Each structure stands twice: as structure tokens, then as C-alpha cells.
Amino acid sequence: MKISGTFDVKLEPLDAATAGENGIAFGRMSIDKTYQGALEGRSRGEMLTVMTQVQGSAGYVAAEQVTGSLSGKRGSFVLQHYGNMKGGGEFLMLQVVPDSATGELVGLTGKMDIRIEDGQHFYDFDYNLPD
């Protein structure tokens, strides 16, 4: 099953950035999202970031627990993020953490793509639920 929709996101720093060696900066942020569309609900999570001394090169990992409904089925699940950027290009991977789903979503597997167009956040979620 593949669905698409929009989401709003609020990121807040949790601690002051930590300086590493050679211009590396580490950060930690809270994630608060509201999903609209066939995925309707809210998520909360945390993100760890690393900024390099090279403009446009960075990386992050994150986890967020989504609670709400997915195509009419209620429950929650966790999305794990892995992303990096270099020279204007980016790589981003979001996957459902195995066995993290609850309620009517137990057994959920899948991956999500995120895109930003004209300041609006969109998701494309390719998922499977057992019968």
C-alpha cells in the first residue's frame, strides 16, 4: 500500500550544541509532528545531528513514535531516520522499526520518503500490514 499526505513539524533544541574536534558540532533536538492524510496523527521523538566545518555537509539520526490512524486503522509505530547531506545533495531513509507497532497496526512494515515543496512538508509512505 502506498499513501501520501502532508505534515507539520516543529524542531526544538534540547541542549546546547557540543563542539567536537576539527569544527564538528553535535546537536540534539525534539521532534513534534502532526500528520494529515491517510496517515492522521501526531508523533514525538528525538534527533541527533552533526554539522561539519564544510558548508552543506551534515548528518542526522532520529526516532519518532507516530500515534493515530493509518488508512483507518488505529495504533502507533516508530519511524527510524538516517540522513546526510553533501554539496547540496542529500540521502534520507526512514523505516518502520520492526515490532514497534501497536493496536490495529501490529505487524506493520514499511518505509517513508519525505519531500519539501514551497515550504510544505510531504510524506510518501509505502507500507504493508498483515491480513
In tens, the pLDDT along 48-77 reads: 999 999 989 999 999 999 999 999 999 999
Q: Is the pLDDT assigned to residue 17 strictly greater than 80?
A: no
Q: What is the pLDDT of residue 15?
A: 83
Q: Which three cell numbers stand for residue 63?
A: 526516532
Q: What is the pLDDT of residue 25?
A: 92
CA angle 111, 118, 123 (to 5 degrees): 15
Mean pLDDT of 87-112: 96
Distances (CA, A) of 64 to 44, 56, 71, 100: 5, 24, 19, 11
CATH number for the domain that contains residue 120: 2.40.350.10
Q: Is the pLDDT assigned to residue 5 strictly greater than 80?
A: yes
Quote the number of domains for the chain.
Answer: 1
Q: Which residues contact 106 (CB under 8 A, 6 or more apart)?
A: 75, 130
Residue range(s) defining the domain that contains residue 59:
2-128
How far apart CA 8 and CA 94 sit, in angstroms, is: 17
DSSP state of 34: E
